[in-house]
Amino acid sequence: MAMMHPSYSELMDLINKDSDAEENQVVNSRYAIVMATAKRARELVDGNPSAVEMHEGDKPLSIAVEEIEEGNMKIVKNEE
């Protein structure tokens, strides 16, 4: 099995870098990252433009992860 790069923990650190306390974190689980990237991948499949340069053979999920990693897409905390 191939390792995802960046790792979930690296993405969580990147997404939460501006959070001042643990209770204010945008994401606090791998599940939240999986759901957000899956949602973005579906948007890409539906024809929404990519915020990063795409290459032949790139998968929508890989593009979504790259968008988040590069800071082109943000995950926002859902306030209930």
**Structural domain boundaries in the chain:** 1-16+28-80
Which CATH entry fits the domain spanning 1-16+28-80: 3.90.940.10, 3.40.1000.10, 1.10.150.530, 3.30.70.260? 3.90.940.10
Confidence (pTM)? 0.72
Arithmetic mean of pLDDT, 59-71: 88
Q: What percent of the chain has pLDDT over 70?
A: 78
Write the DSSP string, 46-74: TTPPPSS---TT--HHHHHHHHHHTTSS-
Q: Residue range 12-27: average pLDDT?
A: 70
Q: How high does pLDDT run on average in the chain?
A: 80
- Pairwise pLDDT comparison (62 vs 79), residue with the higher score: 62
